Structure 1
Amino acid sequence: MDRRKFFRNGSLFTLGATLLNPFESRALLPATGEAYKNKKAKNIIFLVSDGMSSGTLNMADLYLSRKTGKGSNWLQLYKDQRVSRALMDTASANSVVTDSSAGSSAWGGGVRVNNGSLNVGPSGEKYLPIWQKFKKAGKMAGCVTTVPVTHATPAGFCVNNNSRGAQEEIAEEYHAIGFDVMMGGGNNYFSAAVRKDKKDVYAAYKAKGWQVVRNRNEMMAADNNKPLLGVFADDALPYSIDRRSSRELTDTTPTLAEMTGKAIDRMKGHKNGFVLQVEAGKVDWGAHANDIAAVLYDQVAFDEAIKVAVDFAEKDKETLVIITTDHGNANPGIIYGRDANANFDSIQNYTHTNEWILNQVKPGSTVAQVREMISSANGAPVSEENAKVILSYYDGLQKEEGLYNYKKLPFRAFAEMQKATNSVGWISMDHSADYVELAMFGPGSELLKPFVKNTDLHYLMLQAAEVENKF
């Protein structure tokens, strides 16, 4: 079927004349896209490294190149010219700097909404999320993430809500809609022991035929013929480097790549295909903390999920893989200097995140103990003077604010100290308005223009899958 004729005669414009299909006049792309010209995308896998600045992508590739001799899977797709590539404008309706709920809603609803909301416009208008559209078209749909599965990015593809913070409501909305796979963290929003209303949402899922799994082994053993809810932490999953350094966490917590593989196995046999969102949510959290070990190792874990998705798509030949981020965050980068190479390579010796280190420090810790903790986790101690500065945050003399910094830990101060030995600098601790990287592999990738708005991806997915926008 000619996809352009299908949409010209269909109902792509049912949302109104202002929401035009941005792909009608698409010119021909190079061979990467032309190989799939007019082929239908039966499946879509949408991979999001939340809060990934370009410097994060760059550093992950350099880290892997210098450690293993082989770069990242993402950039190897560029080097091998196997993908269509673009820059994407990530703004929300009320700011050039988006938050994750508005960023995901741009993809999910095809319309820019204000920061903080999920597919709900400023006047209360609701836009049907794209995973619901695909469900109505007969496809399976699911999300996997390293933060609560009720968090902003998965929710933006799935539900309407005035507030991204309504995670208890969102847990119930997923159940009512009837998705096929939901995996990540978020026990706090499902468990009767923790929820404010004491409702046992797990029991509701089980009553509707869902399997509920709570650890890696249960996930691996889950039946691929039943809906799957996997909740592996009270809030977000542990950072990848902390997971790797703990036998208990390694045994009990699945990686993003493992969750991706399991979700694909659950849905790949469906006759009408499937759609799957995969989010490395803690890349964003680590950037908010200027925590290089958190950001870098979680970006590498995301890169492993990319391989799982692309390997499947390469064999399947009916799957569109989309790889991107919703916005930049903190804009980290390697800073020029005589010892930049050796300093950056020192991160290969890190065993824990800054979050883990700073949580080990207590008000009664000594300068010597602080230096030993940091030396053990980073391979080199801080000076006595810097150890005293760190301790001042535990004695009530100083405090540091920041998103996800619930304990007011000295993330910024410690990152500034680390710069002298790892050569990584940061411009802020918050989101940025960068145009971001976007790559596509498989049928539908020929539709991608070199520069797009985030909302354009909503219509591209519908067009690639030949699903009319009539719902």
Structure 2
Amino acid sequence: MKRRDFFTSGSLALLGTSLINPLSVTANNLQSRKEKTAKNIIFMVSDGMSTGTLNMASLLSQRRNGRQSNWIKLYRENMGRRALMDTSSSNALVTDSAAGSSAWGGGVKVPNGSLNVNADGSFNKPILQKFKQAGKSVGCVTTVSITHATPAGFCVNNKSRGDEYEIAGQYLDLKFDVMMGGGSKFFSKETRKDKVDLLEKYNTAGYTLVANRDEMNALSARTDKPVLGLYAQNGLPYTLDSMHDEALQKSVPTLAEMTQKTIEILSRNSKGFVMQVEGGKVDWAAHANDSAGLLYDQIAFDDAIKVALEFAANDKETLVIMTTDHGNGNPGLFGSDKDFDRIQHFKHTNDWILNGITNKFTTAQVIERIEAAQGYAIKAAEAQTLLSAYTKMDGDGLYNPYKLPFQQLAQIQSSYISVNWASMGHSGDFVELAAFGPGSELLMPFVKNTDLHELMLQASGVKSV
């Protein structure tokens, strides 16, 4: 059957919605009535997406491509449900990704840094294990390592999110149907600290291993083997850098492509499927105050949203949930449209710029590199400020192993693109949450992050075990 385009002829109305009666709020913040069971669930996480990130990405898409983001289009057409979500962990108003994903995955607030492990050491069963036990196919796709906090929060119990080598081993016996992203270094004997060849263990256990875009595209939707796709040693490249690198485009699939392929494989199960989709590099860019990295990866995440919503509109049995685990950096547009429009023509991220500079550069070379990458020429004094940081190597930012001057470049850059940042870390903001499809009627206007665990189980008719 020919798939109908989700974005033509008002086809969003296929699933529709009804108004929420505020008097029907139950004790656990879920609406008691449910219109239809969701056979499938696609849970989409733009990690570290502040409200300003969602806003600016839609503005950039509108001005660059002539169309607003699919997420904002959903709002403008008044489809599905929209809510605010509290993101706190058990020990802090400002959560990290491990506790954030565990709130959804295990249904209980846990301490920051923990994956479905409570302060007393007890475990909360992760939701993909519950759905797998119920007979559904399950999987995760991400633009960071597949062992990172957000996918792991749906999959495993571990007292430390940082033990990605151990998490890579924990996935083996679970035999989830599709796991795709980066993080090959946590599986390879060449890079593992214990020199264990996990890739061979996965191969022996019957997994299909794929390592690039061509191999992923060659996967048959009829495969009955679990799939492990690893496309980078750590996180995948930033979208903007890939857009201007043919080799990366050929070797590394986009998040939308991974999402499409995973849906093709999982949807063969007559009992349905549940999958998590994470735009993890949005968070990494926010920690670096890298505006171009942030906005183009948010747009790439939005492309994956389109894939999910089109499938749901045609399938009519799929609940799509779109949200974030927390804000990060709280960026915003403050100033000139003309300056902001410069981002439309960027070729590379701040990450690409700074990783290519050394303390041997001259100020002229710094100016030239930035102009080639982003189309504007900074002042000599500003270039000297960046160069001086390469003698100290004490830059801030969570994913900054070489201590590069990300914050300094973002501050300089603000006068050229009109984007400013509040911090380089997570925020305690209430965040955007949207739902579309059967089960979306359960969503109330304000929820706790833990409410989504029960919402998914209730929407799908699966009992908590």
- TM-score band w.r.t. shorter chain: over 0.9
Letter of the 1:210 partner, please give it: Y
Corresponding residue for residue 317 of structure 2: 318
Letter of the 1:233 partner, please give it: A
Question: 1:81-113: CA deviations, max 9, x gaps?
Answer: 111010000000000000000000000000000
1:57 aligns with 2:54: yes
Q: How does 1:456-467 map to 2 (within 5 A)?
A: 456-467=451-462
Letter of the 1:373 partner, please give it: R
Corresponding residue for residue 90 of structure 1: 87
RMSD: 1.2
| Offset of residue 68 of structure 1 | 2.1
Partner secondary structure for residue 372 of structure 2 = helix
Question: 1:122-152: CA deviations, max 9, x gaps?
Answer: 0001000000000010001100000000000
Q: How does 1:255-404 map to 2 (within 5 A)?
A: 255-336=254-335, 340-396=336-392, 399-404=394-399
1:23 aligns with 2:27: no
Partner secondary structure for residue 393 of structure 1 = helix
Partner secondary structure for residue 179 of structure 2 = strand
2:41 to 44, 47, 66: 44
Question: 1:350-383: CA deviations, max 9, x gaps?
Answer: 1111010011111111111111000001101111
Structure 1 residues 131, 244: CA separation in 2 closer, same or farther (over 3 Å shift)?
Answer: same
Corresponding residue for residue 23 of structure 2: none
1:137 aligns with 2:144: no
Partner secondary structure for residue 154 of structure 2 = helix
Letter of the 1:364 partner, please give it: K
Structure 1 residues 199, 20: CA separation in 2 closer, same or farther (over 3 Å shift)?
Answer: farther
Structure 1 residues 265, 25: CA separation in 2 closer, same or farther (over 3 Å shift)?
Answer: closer
Question: 1:23-76: CA deviations, max 9, x gaps?
Answer: 2546xxxxxxxxxx5211000000000000000000011111112221000000
| Offset of residue 20 of structure 1 | 6.8
Structure 1 residues 176, 305: CA separation in 2 closer, same or farther (over 3 Å shift)?
Answer: same
| Offset of residue 169 of structure 1 | 1.1
| Offset of residue 222 of structure 1 | 1.5
Partner secondary structure for residue 263 of structure 2 = helix
Letter of the 2:142 partner, please give it: T
Question: 1:325-347: CA deviations, max 9, x gaps?
Answer: 000000000013xxx10000001
Q: How does 1:56-75 map to 2 (within 5 A)?
A: 56-75=53-72
Q: Aligned partners of 2:112, 2:416: CA distance in 1, in Å?
A: 37
Asked whether the 8 Å contact 2:31–2:444 carries over to 1, the reply is no
Partner secondary structure for residue 330 of structure 2 = coil
Q: Aligned partners of 1:440, 1:20: CA distance in 2, in Å?
A: 20
1:124 to 113, 121, 124: 121
Corresponding residue for residue 440 of structure 2: 445
Letter of the 1:82 partner, please give it: M
Partner secondary structure for residue 323 of structure 1 = strand
What percentage of residue pairs aligned between the two structures are identical? 58
Letter of the 1:403 partner, please give it: L
Corresponding residue for residue 29 of structure 1: none
Asked whether the 8 Å contact 2:31–2:443 carries over to 1, the reply is no
Corresponding residue for residue 16 of structure 1: none
Asked whether the 8 Å contact 2:396–2:407 carries over to 1, the reply is no
1:430 aligns with 2:425: yes
Letter of the 2:368 partner, please give it: E
Structure 1 residues 24, 380: CA separation in 2 closer, same or farther (over 3 Å shift)?
Answer: closer
Question: 1:399-424: CA deviations, max 9, x gaps?
Answer: 21220111111101110111111000
What are the ranges of 5 or more consecutive residues in structure 1 without an aligned counterpart? 1-18, 27-36
Question: 1:236-271: CA deviations, max 9, x gaps?
Answer: 000000111111101100000000001001110101
Q: How does 1:154-303 map to 2 (within 5 A)?
A: 154-224=151-221, 225=223, 226-303=225-302
Q: Which segments of structure 1 move beyond 3 Å, counting only runs of 4 or more? A: 19-22
Partner secondary structure for residue 165 of structure 2 = helix
Question: 1:155-189: CA deviations, max 9, x gaps?
Answer: 00000000001111111111111100000000110
1:407 aligns with 2:402: yes
Partner secondary structure for residue 188 of structure 2 = coil
Partner secondary structure for residue 452 of structure 1 = strand
| Offset of residue 21 of structure 1 | 4.4
Structure 1 residues 127, 20: CA separation in 2 closer, same or farther (over 3 Å shift)?
Answer: farther
Normalised to the residue count of structure 1, the TM-score between the two structures is 0.92
Corresponding residue for residue 30 of structure 1: none
Q: Aligned partners of 1:152, 1:196: CA distance in 2, in Å?
A: 20
Structure 1 residues 24, 301: CA separation in 2 closer, same or farther (over 3 Å shift)?
Answer: closer
Q: 173-182 or 114-123: which moved more?
A: 173-182
Asked whether the 8 Å contact 2:256–2:301 carries over to 1, the reply is yes
Letter of the 2:62 partner, please give it: S
1:151 to 148, 155, 159: 148
| Offset of residue 223 of structure 1 | 2.8
Letter of the 2:244 partner, please give it: S
Normalised to the residue count of structure 2, the TM-score between the two structures is 0.93
